[in-house]
Homo-oligomer: A and B are copies of this chain.
Amino acid sequence: MDEPAPASAPTAPALDEGPREGQSDRWGWDYCTNTAVRRAARRLGQLYGDISAPAGLMPTQHTLLTHLKLAAAASDPAAGTLQNLAAAMVMDLSALGHTLKPLVRDGYVELVPDARDRRVKRARLTEKGEAKQAEGQALWHVAQSRFDALFGAEESAALRRALAIVASEEFAEAFKRGE
Contacts and interface: CB of A to CB of B under 8 A. Distances in A.
Interface of A: 2-7, 12-15, 17-20, 26-48, 50, 59-60, 63, 66-67, 70-71, 74, 88-91, 140, 143-144, 146-151, 154-168, 170-172, 174-176, 178-179
Copies in the complex: 2
Contacts of A42: 89-91, 167
Interface SS majority for chain A: helix
B44 A158 contact: no
A36 B167 contact: yes
8 contacts: A13-B165, A26-B70, A29-B167, A30-B160, A33-B148, A37-B40, A42-B90, A50-B176
Given A47-B176, A158-B2, A174-B13, A40 B167 contact: yes
A43 B150 contact: no
Nearest to A46: B172
